[in-house]
Structure 1
Amino acid sequence: MGTGHKIRVGLVYGGRSGEHEVSLQTALAVLKAFDYDKYELIPFYITKEGRWRSGPLLEASPAAVAELQFEPRAADPEEAPASDSSLLPLMQGMSERALAAGGESGGIGSVDVVFPLLHGTFGEDGTIQGLFEMANLPYVGAGVLASSVGMDKAAMKTMFAAAGLPQVGYRFFTRFNWNKEREAILDGIEEGIGYPSFVKPANLGSSVGISKARNREELIAAVEEALRYDRKVIVEQFVDAREIEVAVLGNDEPRASVAGEIVSSNEFYDYKAKYIDGKSAMIIPADIAEETSLSVREMAVRAFLAIDGTGLCRADFFMRRSDGALFINEVNTMPGFTPFSMYPLLWQETGVSYRELLDTLIELAIARHAEKQLIDYGG
């Protein structure tokens, strides 16, 4: 890119998942925080039905955001439908940009890097990342593998186990397994996990569908509830533990933030406690021993590398109250990203501002894309 060229960033937000509104909050915060001396921004909104709409080019100042119709209404039937078919020019413009380094930006779809701000299904599960990969587009955050593993808790736990990361006891099974061998599954959970236990859909964000089971009757009901949201279910051993979180940033040489602690208003950290009632406290840095802090940060980096992470993730841990033992719980490859979310706050406490975080994520995305251009795909 020539001197003086502003990096044109396509912000993709909204989406078909149940976390659509959370995505809108994230995108609005990011739009307001970007350095408009460095960047031009094009909003790409995905409706709850999966339709793409492009917004105006934002290049002057964040004040323009106030005038942006943030959740675009349906297009006027008499208007040309271009704003509702923005996916094609986005893909074409980005692909051409990647193949013609240094060329001037063309239409609204011609951007230098995509910043997906999509939470949950169809956003952080590898699907849209695959779309960007097929179009050879630079994009912020985890790739296809890390995104899909980060969403599928069963696959995630399998990879953590292979990396030697400590975890609480767990079992997972599919709807087919449940319907075919229910009694054997229940017996195995009672013998290997015990009560109380937590039952979760394997693929869903924001802790929707999680239940606590204290006996067989509750366990059956919890499994049936989880199967409403996914075909695969995880049952986890209960531990009386503190919840410790660490932010990770980087590609091949990731670094970890200070550790933080979540003190939930609820029995466990569910969707309500995260986003709605505002009663959960985020304690940063966590009040833990220095040795424990170093251990949990090292484990966060190991977890990030275990799933082949890139860009960012938040790693969540249990710290057992009885003896201080640490267990990896999960990683989130598109964590909450408003200035008041845990991930940016952890980095703020570590010495990296919100705006610096945005700059770094853009740089990491462009660097990873440049490296991928070295791969010979046999074409």
Structure 2
Amino acid sequence: MLIRLILVFLCLALPVAAAPIRIKDLVRFDGVRGNDLVGYGLVVGLNGTGDGLRNSPFTEDIMSNLLERLGVNVTGEEYRPKNVAAVFVTATLPPFARAGTQIDVTVSAMGDAKSLLGGMLVMTPLNGADGQIYAVAQGAIIAGGISAEGQAARVVQGVPTSGTIPEGARVEREVEFDFAGLTNMRLALRTPDFTTAGRIEGVINRELGRGVALMLDAGTVALDLGAARARSPAHVLQQVENLTVEPESVARVVVDQRSGTIVMGEDVRISRVAVAQGGLTLRVEEQPMVVQPNPFSRGETIVVPRTSASIEENPGSGLAEIQGETTLSRVVAGLNALGVAPNDMIDILKSIHAAGALHAEFIVR
């Protein structure tokens, strides 16, 4: 029987002969991180797709405050423009960003605006978690969708109420961080693993000298920057980040029940086990019949229900034995020998895992 199976096999755990990976791709350097910024402002120039001020009174407040700062007195005035929208502006301040650096920002509508397409963000300060202003954003918005409507229909594609401004904010305040004065630094592994951390420690000590690196746990390697005898911490990290190691990962099986996708790592192992698979198919069909009264009678036309039901038992694949193999290709061959549909394969893997024969982390999404 031909196997109609949707299996995607990706190496979540690297094979034994994996290519070396740079340390900069395996770890994060402690202290070298971005900072989130947020602000709220006003978008103008919309083509009648802005906020309805009755439903979004905060838009009127923002607009009044802005006009007051510009010297326009609107106290007591009633105005209902449809071309403005209140928005949240978010950005990430990258590490080592200096004053004058331009960064990207994301703009999202706060009220009931229908689209930000063609809008212009008015000067908006962006605050950090400490309440200080670190950047100021302004510029034309590139919306991520389009919206069109008529009297009886409306079409929306994408998300027109959100957009971006490339390099739309300029850094005004730098984050204080004395990087040059550091004497110690920790490397945080993106995927904690004792073997990988030990290999990182070993390759750094071989390159920079014994005692520079020390593995603290599965996710942390400490660096003694002073023992490296370099001109600055930046020179030490410049040497460390380009060193290569062969990482290790936990064996995993990931299944997506919605799409019937199964992802298995190279290190997945299955102990010797026997599997039988089969099922029942219940079919119910409705074939109503119309019954007419006799000619010239006073009867009524009625519909008589007619239902047919049947149960079919699928023969299944019988009892198939999956040998305990040492390679992914042989494990796959054993599973494919069952010749079942994707959803049934997921159920089989669940059962094998429950029986203790699947030696891997089993993740169901």
TM-score for the superposition, normalised by structure 2: 0.19
Report which of the two structures shows the higher radius of gyration computed on alpha carbons.
2
Which structure has more relative contact order (CA 8 Å, sep 6+)? It is 2
Larger strand percent: 2
Larger helix percent: 1
